[in-house]
């Protein structure tokens, strides 16, 4: 771990390389203990990051998974869209577990507030589409619509009375979508949030982050969503509405690009996707079902079964090109333990289908292994194949959901 930490340097971003749920939360939690500041930069409560500590499951949607580390400042960046009741709920869960967060929570004044009505618009837009995107219905797209249209409300206005704004929006939304906005409910949510979060909204995110940098504080940014869901570089229109890449993380957290010293690409040892859109290496039959069962592939946010299939290495190359991964974390290797052989997408055929290279499986339990040399030789070969194809060192390998179930190379 010491050598890895040295190589990571002062500012590290943890970025999903596929379609999300790669296990970003787990690696963030593990690394957070060695960093000074833990941050989320973009996205909202469409994220679901599950970590397992001492056998206990914790699910984060807005706070970074590193929030369990008691003494670390936690920053929510300008790129985020924040559903206030969800945030209050997460804070309460931590407090109930004896973990105080309010005094170390620092929220950007430029982060947007995601209202209940954004969720209603999300639902209405999904119903209207001939082929739905399969959004999480957490209101993400509509909140970013308001942000881009410059009709949104940012955290800096938390203390204001927003009744006039909400009444006006209610009128518009009734006419356009036939949605009945519950203005009283929105106002009550705001009042509750104001009481709890008043002192957590900082004056300026750029100033805060510049101060951390000048004091040589080590900063860990937990990405949300993933590269193939990025609004610009993902499989549009089957994407989310934020910038999910390393560059997006820096933009969202107000750090200069040159400040980033390393970027960890988080890659599931196979592949999953929730929602619609192409998935070249998908296994719709029994093998996919097997991966889903062994990997527990059900969404942490919506409970939806995740579509399962194999790793597609050209996609990993694309993600590497976009993010400049300096290290990879291959997660959930243990889920493949029972496979006879493992197909790896290595290219695309003439009619657009995936072409595969198939590696032999290892048919041996790897769960809980913490040393690379203790892995079965075929598992080592599998990792090395990915490493060679992508050209990025695999420095971390997940062998189970628990905090300690990881190989650091
Ligand atoms: P995130 O959104 O990228 O943080 O990933 P999620 O938390 O949504 O999904 C990853 C799931 O896999 C979680 O339930 C984790 O507890 C679990 N997980 C993470 N790493 C491993 C691993 O190495 N092995 C196994 N079996 N489970 C893992
Ligand atoms: P984490 O951070 C997996 C997917 C949705 C849908 C598309 C658009 O846990 O990896 P949205 O609600 O964002 O408008 O939905 O993006 N999606 C995710 N899939 N993990 C996520 O986050 C996701 N966040 C959004 O399923 O296909
Ligand atoms: Mg997730």
pLDDT tens digits, 373-398: 999 999 999 999 999 999 999 999 99
User: Is residue 302 scored above 90 in pLDDT?
Assistant: no
User: Is residue 301 scored above 90 in pLDDT?
Assistant: no
User: Is residue 247 scored above 90 in pLDDT?
Assistant: yes
Written as six digits, the tokens of 157 are 């206005």
Mean pLDDT of the chain: 97
Q: Are strands 74-82 and 37-43 parallel, antiparallel or unpaired?
A: parallel
Written as six digits, the tokens of 112 are 């947007």
The length of the chain is 409
Cα gap 58→72, rounded to integer Å: 18
Q: What angle do CA 263, 77, 120 make, to 5 degrees?
A: 115
Predicted pLDDT of residue 12: 98
pLDDT per position as a tens digit, 1-25: 999 999 999 999 999 999 999 999 9
Over range 51-59, report the average pLDDT. Answer: 95
If one residue of 15, 17, 23, 45 were mutated to test the ligand 1 pocket, choosing by the most ligand atoms within 8 A of its CB, it would be: 23
Give the orientation angle of helix 183-197 with respect to helix 116-128, to 10 degrees.
130
pLDDT per position as a tens digit, 196-237: 999 999 999 999 999 999 999 999 999 999 999 999 999 999
pLDDT per position as a tens digit, 254-280: 999 999 999 999 999 999 999 999 999
CB atoms within 5 A of ion ligand 3 belong to 21, 48
Confirm or reject: Cβ of 265 under 6 Å from ligand 1: no
Ligand that lies nearest to the alpha carbon of residue 23, given by its number in the listed order: 1
pLDDT per position as a tens digit, 152-196: 999 999 999 999 999 999 999 999 999 999 999 999 999 999 999
Q: Which helix (H) or strand (E) holds 195?
A: helix 183-197
Omega of the bond prior to 405 within 30 degrees of 0, cis? no
Which residues, including other chains, have CB under 8 Å from residue 408's CB and lie 6 or more apart?
1, 4, 370, 395, 396
Predicted pLDDT of residue 300: 82
Which residues are tagged catalytic? Answer: 21, 49
Predicted pLDDT of residue 17: 98
Predicted pLDDT of residue 388: 98
User: Is residue 83 scored above 90 in pLDDT?
Assistant: yes
Ligand that lies nearest to the alpha carbon of residue 240, given by its number in the listed order: 2
Q: Go through the domains of the chain in sequence order and give each one's CATH number.
A: 2-109+202-408 (3.40.440.10), 112-197 (1.10.300.10)
Q: Which residues line ligand 2 (CB under 6 A)?
A: 16, 19-21, 46-49, 133-136, 138, 140-141, 224-226, 229, 240-241, 274-275
Confirm or reject: Cβ of 29 under 6 Å from ligand 1: no
């Amino acid at each position: 771990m010491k050598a890895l930490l040295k190589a990571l340097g002062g500012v590290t971003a943890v970025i999903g390389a596929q379609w999300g749920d790669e296990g970003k939360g787990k690696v963030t939690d593990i690394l957070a203990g060695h960093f000074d500041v833990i941050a989320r930069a973009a996205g909202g409560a469409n994220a679901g990051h599950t970590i397992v500590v001492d056998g206990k499951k914790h699910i984060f949607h807005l706070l970074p998974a590193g929030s369990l580390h008691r003494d670390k400042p936690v920053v929510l960046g300008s790129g985020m869209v924040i559903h206030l009741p969800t945030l209050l709920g997460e804070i309460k869960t931590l407090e109930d577990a004896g973990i105080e967060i309010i005094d170390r929570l620092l929220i950007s004044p430029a982060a947007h507030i995601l209202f209940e009505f954004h969720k209603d618009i999300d639902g209405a837009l999904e119903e209207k589409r001939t082929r739905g995107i399969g959004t999480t219905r957490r209101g993400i797209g509509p909140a970013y619509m308001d942000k881009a249209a410059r009709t949104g409300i940012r955290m800096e206005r938390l203390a204001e009375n927003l009744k006039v704004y909400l009444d006006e929006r209610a009128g518009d939304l009734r006419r356009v979508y036939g949605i009945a906005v519950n203005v009283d409910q929105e106002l009550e949510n705001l009042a509750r949030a104001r009481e709890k979060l008043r002192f957590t909204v900082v004056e300026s995110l750029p100033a805060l982050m510049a101060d951390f940098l000048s004091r040589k504080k080590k900063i860990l940014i937990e990405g949300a969503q993933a590269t193939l869901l990025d609004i610009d570089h993902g499989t549009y229109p089957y994407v989310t509405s934020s910038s999910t890449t390393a560059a997006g993380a820096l933009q969202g957290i107000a750090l200069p690009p040159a400040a980033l010293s390393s970027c960890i690409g988080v890659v599931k040892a196979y592949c999953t996707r929730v929602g619609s859109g192409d998935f070249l290496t998908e296994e719709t039959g029994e093998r996919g079902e097997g991966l889903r069962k062994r990997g527990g592939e059900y969404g942490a946010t919506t409970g939806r079964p995740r579509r399962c299939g194999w790793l597609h290495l050209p996609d990993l190359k694309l993600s590497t090109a976009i993010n400049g991964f300096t290290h990879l974390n291959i997660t959930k290797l243990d889920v493949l333990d029972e496979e006879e052989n493992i197909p790896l997408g290595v290219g695309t055929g003439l009619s657009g289908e995936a072409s595969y290279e198939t590696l032999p499986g290892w048919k041996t339990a790897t769960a809980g292994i913490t040393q690379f040399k203790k892995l079965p030789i075929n598992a080592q070969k599998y990792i090395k194949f990915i490493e060679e194809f992508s050209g990025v060192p695999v420095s971390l390998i997940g062998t189970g959901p628990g905090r300690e179930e990881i190989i650091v190379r």
